[in-house]
Amino acid sequence: MLLWGVTSAGPVLAQGAAPAILKVEVFAVSATPLNVPNKPAYPLAIYRTDELEQAQRALLAPAGTGRNDKETESLQAAYLREQGKAVLHQLAPLVSRHYQVEQLARQYAIAALPAIVINGTKVIYDVTDVDRAVAIFQKLQGN
């Protein structure tokens, strides 16, 4: 009987058996439409890499926009002087999450978006359908 391992520390499977999907992590910007399974049989995390930027834009929208960048910055600075604590309170958890997502992306050496990481070992690029990425992963593993 031939044995096969996903990684040296990963599960060992008999030849022909599909590799276990232990986790799937999706990295994409908010504008990227994703096709995700309703009830996946594995842990699934979706990371929108521009989530912090989108939230900042939304939270600063009440400040308005000026005729140029300098005027807009001035309006935003005045708004933050008045509402700064409330805005920062709303942004704090997103800043923390943003840095966690950046750290994961560096750990996986993600070079482009969208990227789907399977089992923390394989990165599938330019695929927005999670089930398709899982199928590609399984095919790459020889099944």
pLDDT at 143: 56
Cα–Cα dist 87/96, whole Å: 15
Report the chain's mean pLDDT, rounded to a whole number.
Answer: 84
Give the residue extent of every domain in the chain.
1-49+113-143, 50-105
pLDDT at 25: 98
- Please enumerate in sequence order all residues whose Cβ is within 8 A of that of 41, keeping only pairs 6 or more positions apart, or say none: 21
Cα–Cα dist 62/90, whole Å: 15
Examine the pLDDT at 14 and tell me if it is beyond 70.
no
Residue type, 101: V
Examine the pLDDT at 6 and tell me if it is beyond 60.
no
Examine the pLDDT at 54 and tell me if it is beyond 90.
no
* Residue 17 pLDDT grade (very low, low, confident, very high; cuts 50, 70, 90): low
Q: Which residue has the higher pLDDT, 27 or 94?
A: 27
Q: Which residue has the higher pLDDT, 71 or 8?
A: 71
Examine the pLDDT at 2 and tell me if it is beyond 50.
no
pLDDT at 15: 55
pLDDT at 12: 42
